Amino acid sequence: MIGSTRPFLAWFVLVSLLAFGSLACANEVELKMKDGRVLRGSLGPTAGVADQPQPLGKGVVQPIFFIDDHLRRTFVSKHRHQEIRYPKSSAPIEPFLIRQRAKLYGKEVGATGLILGISPFDEFGRRTLTMRSQDGPVDVVQGITELTPAWVKIEGITHRWELRVPTNSIPPETLATLLNRQPGADTPDQQKRIARFYLQMERYEQAQAVLESLLKNVSNPDDRGQIETWLDQIRQLIAQRIINELKMRRGAGQFQLAAEMFQKFPTEGVAGEILQEVRELIQEHQDRESQREKTVGALKDLTDQLGDSPARTSLDPIVREIEDDLSGHTVGRLAAFRLAMGDEAMNPAERLALAVSGWLLGSDAAATNLPNALSAFEVRRLVVAYLNEPSSAGRAALMERLGSQEAAVPRTVALLLENMKPPLPSEPVEGKEGYFELEAAGLDREPPVRYLVQTPPEYDPYRTYPAVLTLHAAGVKPEEQVEWWAGSWNQRGQRVGQAGRHGYIVIAPNWLPKGRSTYSYSAAEHAAVLNCLRDACRRFSVDTDRVYLSGHSVGGEAAWDIGLAHPDLWAGVIPLTARVDRYIVHYSKNAKHVPLYFVGGEKDAGWLLGNAIDFDRYFKRGYDTTVVEYVGRGSEHYYDEILRLFDWMGRFKRDFYPSDFSCVTMRPWDNYFWWVEVDGFPEKSVVEPANWPPPHGTRPIEVRGRLLPNNNVQVRSGAARAIVWLSPKMVDFDQRVKITLNGRAADRDVSFVRPDLPTMLEDARTRADRRHPFWAKVEIDTGRKFGGISGGP
């Protein structure tokens, strides 16, 4: 399990139910990580992920911790844990055992082939799994032999094989059938035992149904009173869970859905303090709506006071925009305007200026100069045109027009970029809410790359959203990747999955070249992924500090490689069932700068052992890496891990302005790291994928950047040229900037770096990161002469 401890109320109900049965206690340790996660299970240290674990306190220094929760083993770096907690007691667990003719002797299934299909469990808990083998498809009959609230043990009947799956992955009707087939299932004691089971699963409704059924057959007043007390407490748990879901939806920006949940909230039998919390949430929602209506009304009234003046004509478009787009996400932009709505000391034009400037630039930048605010509106229009203009001549003409605008200064344009809607509009697929089929440019003469996007419910382009960019395996379509993260469609044309629930955008490129089943580590593949990301950022409101790269199988291998090659782009990387190869081995140093989360199975031939050297290297260096191995499982999609993945992703954001970084590279297109871009690599440091493996003596080139006090910027690189990109979050442009490359100071005139609007707009256009535009750049020649190897996606 992962996350916070259960609410006290759930524990109280559980203890009350346990008074009616004697259960064995499952001892577990809580490993609290520095990122806030709490991992529960049996704890052990180990020197390596493929090594034999040793008991705690053995005296041998071992850098890796693993937690075994019977379903999976989770490996983390010892350097990343905060504390080990030994709970005084834990919820007792009593399994339900199911008799099967499990195969106990003979050769064990050591590794699984590609799984071709799995039948549903029948009423006896048996299913047939078909997988590929050297001799063709093989059918393996399996049966459930043990049920616990957290995991289910499945054993082979025709083959010797034991594996575990989460209990909540078993269909509810199948689970109910298996529980009700237990001996004496209709007796009061067994019914209470089944209710305990459901309660520990946190399936409160099922526990409630069992107890309500039991209550009908109990006549003893004392027993009835106890069951009614448990039912009352379970109702509180159900209500609290609805509140928690409501809060999460609201936090994901789904205000309308939250309001609908308010209206349907069950009030009967719910405790007063819970109802009070609901009333407060409802009032908060109503206050937000009232605030919006009052703001729009005041804006209309002030605009009407201008009559038919030229200012009114200029204001009409922006006022209509505010009226149409003002929402719970953007109402804060007009905070300064609301404070001044009733201030008669200010004339209407000044108050309207506060509204317009606040809307365009954010409330902190709101000002009373109406001509400047209207100029900012025009500047935004020209900036959007610039970002969408394909020709350099057209962009030059737009830049000339910007020069005549009062508000066309870097500080204002940076705020406009941050607060504007994405510049490139898109239309969703008809009948499918928030679903888009799009194309991004391929590399050079490569064909365009098709990609899919799914936005979360109530998507608002003025709000930024975290995003998952997911890469499919060979033989798998991007549509399946979207479904893995965002769920399938319901009858209303809406997705019902975890990405929407948590408020994430899902981006799925068709990245693998047609006819290929392996990853070639090429520039074209990198461009397919990165161009789709940039194109999506132009079309959707992506929080570029919270983009997570993921992939399955060969897509996981690509995600691992691209994640290490471009660590400045990702808040985290999630390779599932991926294999280490080629550049990944040489780029291990870059893993220091990006959190990694690997998932695989014990029976996936060579997955853990083949990756062990790199996993161990990450752990020993204290990198932020998590490795999860599922017991008895093979090469699968591992949807079982999705809730833990969202919990993990929610804890990480990219640091776009690191004060110190050091990365290595061996490909000419892996040449951009945060605020340093290099070009012209020494030939002995570069290996094209077509020339792999590298010749003896080939060493990656290192690129290091440091931001030091007093406006000092240091760069070290073995390349021939470097570009240092600058922002006011890095240096003070009002002071002299000192830039040194490989210990040599840049030319004297470089010291006088000034913000440059063309540089800012071209950076925003090419990188599509409107949250972090660079304001200036300094190009430096190292004096080294190499073969001019350069280029990239």
Burial class (CB in 10 A: 0-12, 13-18, 19+), 295: buried
Sign of CA dihedral 359, 360, 365, 371: negative
C-alpha to C-alpha distance for 629 and 423, rounded to whole angstroms: 43
Distances 228 to 90, 448, 782 between C-alpha atoms, Å: 25, 64, 79
Given a contact cutoff of 8 angstroms between Cβ atoms, the answer to whether 437 and 454 are in contact is no
Given a contact cutoff of 8 angstroms between Cβ atoms, the answer to whether 685 and 699 are in contact is yes
C-alpha to C-alpha distance for 139 and 132, rounded to whole angstroms: 9
C-alpha to C-alpha distance for 742 and 704, rounded to whole angstroms: 10
Residue given tokens 């704890």 in the structure block? 43
- The yes-or-no verdict on residue 87 having pLDDT over 60 is yes
C-alpha to C-alpha distance for 595 and 625, rounded to whole angstroms: 6
In which band, very low, low, confident or very high, does the pLDDT at 283 lie, cut at 50, 70 and 90? confident
What pLDDT is stored for residue 453 in this prediction? 99
C-alpha to C-alpha distance for 112 and 130, rounded to whole angstroms: 10
pLDDT digits (tens, 9 = 90+) for 286-315: 888 888 899 999 999 999 888 878 888 899
In which band, very low, low, confident or very high, does the pLDDT at 198 lie, cut at 50, 70 and 90? very high
Among 229, 251, 273, the domain boundary falls at 251
Among 492-496, 517-521, 529-533, the range scoring the smallest mean pLDDT is: 492-496
- Decide the pairing of beta strands 38-46 and 29-33: antiparallel
Let me know if residue 232 belongs to a domain: yes
HEC profile of 361-427:
HCHHHCCCCHHHHHHHHHHHHHHHHHHHCCCHHHHHHHHHHHCCCCCCCHHHHHHHHHHCCCCCCCC
Q: Burial code of 364-381, b = ≥16 C-beta within 10 A, e = fewer? A: ebbbbbbebbbbbbbbbe
Query: How many CA atoms lie within 13 Å of 446's alpha carbon, on the beta-carbon side?
Result: 22
Residue 139, helix vs strand vs coil: strand
What pLDDT is stored for residue 13 in this prediction? 47
Question: For residue 148, what are the contacts with CB-CB under 8 A and spacing of at least 6?
Answer: 70, 93, 95, 96, 167
Q: Omega of the bond prior to 457 within 30 degrees of 0, cis?
A: no
Given a contact cutoff of 8 angstroms between Cβ atoms, the answer to whether 676 and 717 are in contact is yes
Let me know if residue 561 belongs to a domain: yes
- The yes-or-no verdict on residue 20 having pLDDT over 50 is no
Could you list the beta-strand ranges (E) of 566-720: 572-576, 596-601, 625-630, 660-665, 672-673, 676-679, 701-708, 712-717
In which band, very low, low, confident or very high, does the pLDDT at 3 lie, cut at 50, 70 and 90? very low
In which band, very low, low, confident or very high, does the pLDDT at 748 lie, cut at 50, 70 and 90? low
Q: Burial code of 142-165, b = ≥16 C-beta within 10 A, e = fewer? A: bbbbbbbbbbbbbbbbebbbbbbb
What pLDDT is stored for residue 537 in this prediction? 98
Both tokens of 231, joined, read 């039912």
Does 49 lie in the same domain as 123?
Answer: no
C-alpha to C-alpha distance for 722 and 778, rounded to whole angstroms: 8
Distances 610 to 549, 585, 606 between C-alpha atoms, Å: 22, 12, 5
C-alpha to C-alpha distance for 687 and 533, rounded to whole angstroms: 26
Question: For residue 633, what are the contacts with CB-CB under 8 A and spacing of at least 6?
Answer: 112, 163, 164, 165, 601, 602, 603, 604
Does 685 lie in the same domain as 548?
Answer: no
What pLDDT is stored for residue 59 in this prediction? 63
Nearest to 349 by CA among 417, 392, 402, 299: 299
- Calculate ∠ Cα 777-783-785, nearest 5°: 115
25 versus 564: the higher-pLDDT residue is 564
What pLDDT is stored for residue 21 in this prediction? 38
β-bridge mates for residue 664, sequence order = 702
| Residue 217 φ/ψ, nearest 5 degrees | -110, 10
Element (H, E) at 145: strand 136-147
pLDDT digits (tens, 9 = 90+) for 639-659: 999 999 999 999 999 999 999
Distances 572 to 430, 530, 651, 664 between C-alpha atoms, Å: 33, 15, 10, 18
Given a contact cutoff of 8 angstroms between Cβ atoms, the answer to whether 153 and 145 are in contact is yes
What pLDDT is stored for residue 750 in this prediction? 62
- The yes-or-no verdict on residue 718 having pLDDT over 80 is yes
Does 477 lie in the same domain as 405?
Answer: no
In which band, very low, low, confident or very high, does the pLDDT at 752 lie, cut at 50, 70 and 90? confident
Could you list the beta-strand ranges (E) of 212-369: none
Q: Which long-range contacts (CB under 8 A, 24 or more apart) does 424-430 make?
A: 424/387, 424/388, 424/535, 424/538, 424/539, 425/539, 426/453, 426/539, 426/540
Among 17-26, 36-45, 128-137, 350-359, the range scoring the smallest mean pLDDT is: 17-26
- Calculate ∠ Cα 585-591-596, nearest 5°: 105
Helical H segments across 475-589, by residue range = 478-486, 498-502, 523-539, 554-565, 583-586
Does 519 lie in the same domain as 643?
Answer: yes
Nearest to 729 by CA among 741, 714, 711: 711
> What's the number of domains the chain is made of?
5
Domain range for 379 is: 287-419
- The yes-or-no verdict on residue 26 having pLDDT over 80 is no
Does 685 lie in the same domain as 549?
Answer: no
Element (H, E) at 237: helix 221-251
Nearest to 723 by CA among 702, 698, 750: 750
Let me know if residue 615 belongs to a domain: no
Mean pLDDT for 261-285 is 83
What pLDDT is stored for residue 549 in this prediction? 99
54 versus 618: the higher-pLDDT residue is 618
Does 57 lie in the same domain as 102?
Answer: no
Mean pLDDT for 178-202 is 93
CA 501 remoteness from chain centre: 12
Let me know if residue 611 belongs to a domain: no
In which band, very low, low, confident or very high, does the pLDDT at 135 lie, cut at 50, 70 and 90? confident
Among 85, 106, 128, the domain boundary falls at 85
Given a contact cutoff of 8 angstroms between Cβ atoms, the answer to whether 192 and 199 are in contact is no
In which band, very low, low, confident or very high, does the pLDDT at 19 lie, cut at 50, 70 and 90? very low
Given a contact cutoff of 8 angstroms between Cβ atoms, the answer to whether 197 and 182 are in contact is no
Computed over every residue of the chain, the mean pLDDT equals 91
Cβ–Cβ contacts within 10 Å for residue 284, how many?
A: 12
Let me know if residue 69 belongs to a domain: yes
Residue given tokens 């919390």 in the structure block? 277
451 versus 247: the higher-pLDDT residue is 451
Residue 769, helix vs strand vs coil: coil
Mean pLDDT for 34-42 is 96
Let me know if residue 27 belongs to a domain: yes
pLDDT digits (tens, 9 = 90+) for 374-403: 999 999 999 999 999 999 999 999 999 999
What pLDDT is stored for residue 114 in this prediction? 82
320 versus 54: the higher-pLDDT residue is 320
Helical H segments across 421-522, by residue range = 478-486, 498-502
Does 444 lie in the same domain as 537?
Answer: yes
- Taking each helix axis as running N to C, give the angle between helix 188-201 and helix 204-216, from 0 to 180 degrees, rounded to the nearest 10: 160
Does 464 lie in the same domain as 414?
Answer: no
CA 365 remoteness from chain centre: 31
Both tokens of 705, joined, read 């950047």
Does 128 lie in the same domain as 74?
Answer: no
Among 174-188, 237-251, 260-274, 686-700, the range scoring the smallest mean pLDDT is: 260-274
pLDDT digits (tens, 9 = 90+) for 324-368: 999 988 999 999 999 998 888 899 999 999 999 999 999 999 999
C-alpha to C-alpha distance for 545 and 652, rounded to whole angstroms: 9
- Give me the DSSP letters along 709-738: TTTEEEEEESSSEEEEEE-TTT--TTS--E
Let me know if residue 786 belongs to a domain: no
Mean pLDDT for 419-442 is 95
Mean pLDDT for 198-214 is 94
In which band, very low, low, confident or very high, does the pLDDT at 514 lie, cut at 50, 70 and 90? confident
Does 114 lie in the same domain as 78?
Answer: no
Does 213 lie in the same domain as 316?
Answer: no
Question: For residue 286, what are the contacts with CB-CB under 8 A and spacing of at least 6?
Answer: none
| Residue 712 φ/ψ, nearest 5 degrees | -95, 130
Does 246 lie in the same domain as 130?
Answer: yes
Mean pLDDT for 441-466 is 96
Given a contact cutoff of 8 angstroms between Cβ atoms, the answer to whether 125 and 143 are in contact is yes
Let me know if residue 567 belongs to a domain: yes
- Give me the DSSP letters along 4-38: SPPPHHHHHHHHHHHTTS-------EEEEETTS-E
- The yes-or-no verdict on residue 177 having pLDDT over 90 is yes
Among 85, 110, 126, the domain boundary falls at 85
